[in-house]
Amino acid sequence: MLVRLTMICNGATAATRRGSFPLDEPLEPRSLTVAKAMRGTMRRADRVWTAPALRARQTAEALSLDASVEPLLADQDHGSWAGKSFEDLQARQPGDIAAWRSDPNAAPHGGESLADVARRASELMDRLMVEPGHTIALTHAGVIRSAIVHVLGAPLAACWKIDIEPLSITDFRSDGRRWVLRACGVTSSKPTKPLRP
């Protein structure tokens, strides 16, 4: 039995370009244009899922993918940090930021910890391992990093050393017994014409 999971990171938003923790904001115009240029590059899928966030649903729509919402793909809940810049929080709450970056179970912002996100990603991967066929999942960088760490059996702290670019593709395969990481960070070719904001 062959199982394939293709995770696509949602496009960037104005907040993420500024280095802020996300709210439920829309994609920036450039991301919409790049996603539309990627249409038709995805192979046939047996199911297409999207995270509940607006930016993930808009990415699916821009790719012309008819996706159903899967709650396990949700971005990390950043609680009181949502909408605030990392730089500002680092200046105002350096101890909280340090705890969050060093302890996977810490959630000083009142939202989810990295371990919470990893549990959701692991649950999704375990469920899909017995689901034959190809699943495309539109989700967020944190969920994709957690899935990679799960497949590699790496410690959760390794998540901080994985960079997931907006609109990049990460591909996994399973034989029904174990997952393997097939490709990570694959990006589509950018449109040849200059993009306007």
Residue 73 — pLDDT band, cuts 50, 70, 90?
Answer: very high
pLDDT score for 197: 42
Mean pLDDT for the chain overall: 92
**Which domains are delineated in the chain?**
3-77+115-186 (3.40.50.1240)
pLDDT in tens, 123-170: 999 999 999 999 999 999 999 999 999 999 999 999 999 999 999 999
Query: How far is 50 from 197, CA to CA, in rounded Å?
Result: 25
pLDDT score for 189: 53
pLDDT score for 188: 63
pLDDT in tens, 93-127: 999 999 999 999 999 999 999 999 999 999 999 99
pLDDT in tens, 5-27: 999 999 999 998 999 999 899 99
In order, the DSSP letters of the chain are: --EEEEEEEPPP-HHHHTTBPP-SPPPPHHHHHHHHHTTT-SPP-SEEEE-SSHHHHHHHHHTT---EE-GGGPPP--GGGTTSBHHHHHHH-HHHHHHHHH-TT--TTSS--HHHHHHHHHHHHHHHTTS-EEEEEEE-HHHHHHHHHHHHT--GGGGGG----TT-EEEEEE-SS-EEEEEEEE-PPPPSSPP--
> What mean pLDDT comes out for the span 190-194?
45
Q: Tokens 């104005």 identify what position?
A: 14
Residue 72 reports pLDDT greater than 60: yes
pLDDT score for 191: 46
pLDDT in tens, 174-188: 999 999 999 988 886
Gyration radius from the chain CA atoms: 17
Query: How far is 96 from 173, CA to CA, in rounded Å?
Result: 37
pLDDT score for 44: 86
